[in-house]
């Protein structure tokens, strides 16, 4: 396996927006992209380019922007448009844009902008006001109606949204909304949900793509349960790409070795409230972005935390060297 920082940054072959629309065959690693900022909190335009190059050089088969970990809620509408323009122009892989908003008009406006500028699809999370199964199903049926022909991703992240979606609810949404082509699976625990959805497909239900989140902490088990890949933002996307490749090649032993080598740092990066600052620090250290700035309100890492990160990285590099 290639060591993380031995890889040479590659320029994408095409500098035009992705034209391929998202569908149920999507697989691999759709990296949840950070949004880079300058030290004063302004949008770092140049780092958007270097970040796209970094992710693609390390195995990303797609990018997801303006998600929760992309600090979408801290951006103005103008800044969101700049991010969409820059990333879709730079990327040679499909780009999914998070368009979650309090109202359907906002979702439609952002989705229309994203698709006009070359996005492959959009992602929508449920608002926290939904309480019953019927409310959840009805809401996403309205989302599908306002999105029209735009392919979209159903984001299932109950630890943040506080909306619990059972496999039956997800299947009902998929069956009634053919433009919903992917589940962004981020339930925890959620492995049984993946198994149930794949069992439904084996019994004749429509196939959907399932990409998983939670910082990659359960990616190995998720792949073995039938997921198609990852849609998350660990600072070492090459790990996710390698684990996906190896599990698809049915090399479970090697996949476990690779996964285990990165697990301590993944665990550390997954700390609530600290994770984004840790991820951005590592991305800056690796040259993906120029600055580790988290836009205010955000967390500033202590000297003790920085020391712990360095220790984990050093031990990770030693484990990777031993793997060869």
- Summarised one tens digit per residue, pLDDT across range 101-156 is 999 999 999 999 999 999 999 999 999 999 999 999 999 999 999 999 999 999 99
pLDDT score at 19: 63
Residue pair 51/37 in contact by the 8 Å Cβ criterion: no
Q: How far apart are CA 148 and CA 151, in angstroms?
A: 8
Residues in contact with 29: Cβ distance below 8 Å, sequence separation at least 6, in sequence order = 59, 60, 61, 62, 229, 230, 231, 237, 240, 241, 244
The residue-averaged pLDDT of 39-67 equals 97
Residue pair 240/232 in contact by the 8 Å Cβ criterion: yes
Q: Kindly tell me if the per-residue pLDDT of 9 is higher than 70.
A: no
Q: How many CA atoms lie within 13 A of 299 on its CB side?
A: 16
Q: Kindly tell me if the per-residue pLDDT of 15 is higher than 80.
A: no
Residue 228, classified by CB atoms within 10 Å of its CB into exposed (0-12), middle (13-18) or buried (19+), is: buried
pLDDT score at 125: 96
The residue-averaged pLDDT of 73-92 equals 96
Mean per-residue pLDDT of the chain? 93
The residue-averaged pLDDT of 250-263 equals 98
Q: Of 18-27, 29-38, 54-63, where does mean pLDDT reach its minimum?
A: 18-27
pLDDT digits (tens, 9 = 90+) for 179-234: 999 999 999 999 999 999 999 999 999 999 999 999 999 999 999 999 999 999 99
The residue-averaged pLDDT of 87-99 equals 97
What token pair was written down for 274? 């600290």
pLDDT digits (tens, 9 = 90+) for 274-287: 999 999 999 999 99
Q: Kindly tell me if the per-residue pLDDT of 291 is higher than 90.
A: yes
* DSSP strand pairing (121-124 vs 152-156): parallel
The residue-averaged pLDDT of 76-104 equals 96
Q: Kindly tell me if the per-residue pLDDT of 10 is higher than 60.
A: no
DSSP H or E stretch at residue 63: strand 62-65
pLDDT score at 6: 39
pLDDT score at 12: 35
**Three-class secondary structure assignment of 9-49:** CCCCCCCCCCCCCCCCCCCEEEEECCCCECCCCCECHHHHH
Global pTM reads 0.92
pLDDT score at 68: 84
Q: Kindly tell me if the per-residue pLDDT of 11 is higher than 70.
A: no
Q: Of 6-10, 39-43, 238-242, 258-262, where does mean pLDDT reach its minimum?
A: 6-10
The residue-averaged pLDDT of 4-20 equals 41
Q: Kindly tell me if the per-residue pLDDT of 18 is higher than 70.
A: no
Q: Kindly tell me if the per-residue pLDDT of 80 is higher than 70.
A: yes
């Amino acid at each position: 396996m290639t060591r993380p920082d031995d890889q040479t940054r590659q320029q994408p072959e095409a500098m035009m927006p992705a034209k391929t629309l998202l569908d149920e065959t999507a697989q691999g690693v759709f990296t949840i992209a950070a949004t880079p900022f300058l030290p004063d909190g302004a949008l770092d335009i140049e780092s958007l380019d270097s970040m796209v190059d970094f992710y693609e050089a390390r195995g990303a088969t797609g990018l997801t922007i303006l998600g929760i970990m992309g600090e979408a809620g801290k951006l103005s509408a103008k800044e969101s448009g700049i991010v969409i323009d820059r990333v879709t122009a730079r990327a040679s892989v499909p780009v999914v844009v998070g368009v979650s908003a309090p109202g359907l008009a906002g979702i439609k406006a952002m989705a229309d902008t994203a698709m006009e500028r070359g996005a492959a699809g959009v992602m929508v999370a449920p608002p926290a006001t939904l309480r019953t199964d019927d409310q959840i199903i009805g809401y996403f049926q309205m989302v599908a109606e306002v999105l029209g022909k735009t392919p979209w991703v159903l984001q299932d992240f109950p630890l943040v949204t506080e909306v619990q979606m059972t496999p039956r609810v997800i299947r009902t949404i998929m069956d009634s909304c053919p433009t919903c082509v992917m589940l962004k699976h981020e339930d925890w625990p959620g492995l049984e949900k993946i198994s149930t959805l794949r069992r439904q497909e084996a019994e004749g239900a429509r196939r959907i793509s399932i990409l998983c989140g939670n910082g990659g902490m359960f990616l190995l088990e998720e792949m073995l349960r039938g997921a198609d890949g990852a849609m998350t933002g660990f600072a070492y996307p090459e790990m996710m790409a390698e684990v996906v490749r190896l599990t698809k090649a049915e090399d479970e032993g090697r996949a476990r070795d690779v996964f285990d080598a990165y697990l301590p740092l993944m665990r550390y990066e997954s700390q609530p409230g600290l994770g984004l600052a840790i991820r951005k620090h590592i991305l800056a250290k690796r040259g993906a972005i120029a600055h580790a700035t988290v836009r205010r309100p955000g967390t500033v890492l202590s000297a003790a935390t920085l020391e712990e990160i360095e220790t984990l990285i050093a031990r990770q590099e030693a484990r990777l060297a031993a793997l060869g």
